[in-house]
């Protein structure tokens, strides 16, 4: 079964330091991977995706993610954290159960709360 | 959140009452989804629809119902059969599998926080 795991409930980082939010996945076939951010009482905002191609994917707000097939990981990174980056981050993988059928379902991780201290 | 609207932002109901949450999109997307979000549990799929007049149950469909009569609209009814309806409800849409170049990312509305007492 397809699944995605975010092993850290919370990540704390000082402003200006690099940040990493971890995500690992388990899928059959080639994974389609996504990162979203959620601010309090708001909907999720799409940050970036990996479908194929370059393992380093760049997205919105200076975020990037590195796809590592051997480690089945897709960690979210940013070189220099801002206080305004503090939010809940979700990793997601496309559900491949019905591959070739007709579904666009995503399976979401449980989220990682990023806290950036000034 | 652009392109998808959910109303109202906050909704209060008495136990035993059905309530309908609105979701409208102007992105011309074929597929639409309803999720429930509870603290510490991430997002759980309630129902999804890949095309007008068609929808499928997600992982937690019991106590909920939907309709998809128009491409733009995908309302969710929380019925009195839902044991614990208090939650944050999120609607999303995506281009859909039918397009030649499918774009699988989903775009979310701002959410509706439902409180049932």
Over the stretch B43-87, which tens digit does the pLDDT of each residue have?
Answer: 999 999 999 999 999 999 999 999 999 999 999 999 998 999 999
Integer angstrom CA distances of residue A112 from A23, A90, B22, B26, B93: 9, 7, 28, 30, 23
Mean pLDDT calculated for residue range A39-49: 93
Please give the residue of chain A at the shortest CA–CA distance from B102. Answer: A104
Chain B segment 17-36 residues within 8 A of A by beta carbon are 31, 33
The pLDDT tens digits for A76-116 are: 999 999 999 999 999 999 887 655 444 678 999 999 999 99
Question: A2 pLDDT exceeds 90?
Answer: no
B10-52 pLDDT, tens digit per residue, is: 999 999 999 999 999 999 999 999 999 998 778 999 999 999 9
Q: Is A83 helix (H, G, I), strand (E, B) or coil?
A: helix
> Does A52 contact chain B (CB < 8 Å)?
no
Pairwise CA distance, residues A71 & B106, whole Å: 26
Per DSSP, the three-state class of A84 is helix
pLDDT for residue A101: 45
Q: In whole angstroms, how far apart are CA A32 and each of A62, A71, A96, A105, B104?
A: 21, 15, 9, 11, 8
Structure tokens belonging to residue A89 = 């981050």
Instruction: Please report which confidence band the pLDDT of residue B101 belongs to, taking 50, 70 and 90 as the band edges.
Output: low
pLDDT of A71 reads 96
Cis amide bond preceding B98, omega within 30: no
CB B23 within 8 A of CB B33: no
pLDDT at position A28 is 80
pLDDT confidence of residue A102: 42
Which letter does DSSP use for residue B73 in this model? B
Gap from A45 CA to chain B (nearest CA, Å): 7
Mean pLDDT of B95-99: 68
Q: Which tens digit of pLDDT belongs to each residue from A55-83?
A: 999 999 999 999 999 999 999 999 999 99
Q: What is the pLDDT of residue B79?
A: 94
Name which of A42, A116, A52, A108 is nearest A83 in CA terms: A116
Inter-CA distances, B40 with A12, A24, A109, A110, Å: 17, 18, 10, 6
Name the residue with tokens 């969710």: B76
What 3-state class would DSSP assign to A111?
Answer: coil
Predicted local confidence at residue B41, as pLDDT: 78
pLDDT at B97: 63
Q: With H, G, I as helix, E, B as strand and everything else as coil, classify residue A103.
A: coil
Q: Across the interface, do A106 and B41 touch by the CB < 8 Å criterion?
A: no
**What pLDDT does residue B72 have?**
97
Q: How far apart are CA B23 and CA B92, in angstroms?
A: 8
A40 in contact with B at a CB cutoff of 8 Å? no
> Which pLDDT tens digit goes with each residue over A9-22?
999 999 999 999 99
């Amino acid at each position: 079964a397809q699944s995605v795991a975010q092993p850290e409930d919370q990540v704390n980082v000082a402003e200006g330091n690099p940040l990493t939010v971890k995500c690992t996945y388990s899928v059959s076939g080639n994974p389609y991977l996504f990162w979203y951010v959620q601010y309090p009482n708001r909907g999720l905002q799409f940050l970036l995706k990996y479908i194929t191609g370059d393992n380093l994917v760049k997205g919105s707000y200076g975020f990037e993610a590195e796809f590592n097939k051997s480690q089945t990981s897709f960690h979210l990174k940013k070189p220099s954290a801002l206080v305004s980056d503090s939010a809940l981050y979700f990793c997601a993988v496309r559900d491949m159960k019905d591959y070739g059928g007709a579904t666009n379902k995503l399976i979401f991780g449980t989220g990682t709360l990023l806290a950036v201290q000034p | 959140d652009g392109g998808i609207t959910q109303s109202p932002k906050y909704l209060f109901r008495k136990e035993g009452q059905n309530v309908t949450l609105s979701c409208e999109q102007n992105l011309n997307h074929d597929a639409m989804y309803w999720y429930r979000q509870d603290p510490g549990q991430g997002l759980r799929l309630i129902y999804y629809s890949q095309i007008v007049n068609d929808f499928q149950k997600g992982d937690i469909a019991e106590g909920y119902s939907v309709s998809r009569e128009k491409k733009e609209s995908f309302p969710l009814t929380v019925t009195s059969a839902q044991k614990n309806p208090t939650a944050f409800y999120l609607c999303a849409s995506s281009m859909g599998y039918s397009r030649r170049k499918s774009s699988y990312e989903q775009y979310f509305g701002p959410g509706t926080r439902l409180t049932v007492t």
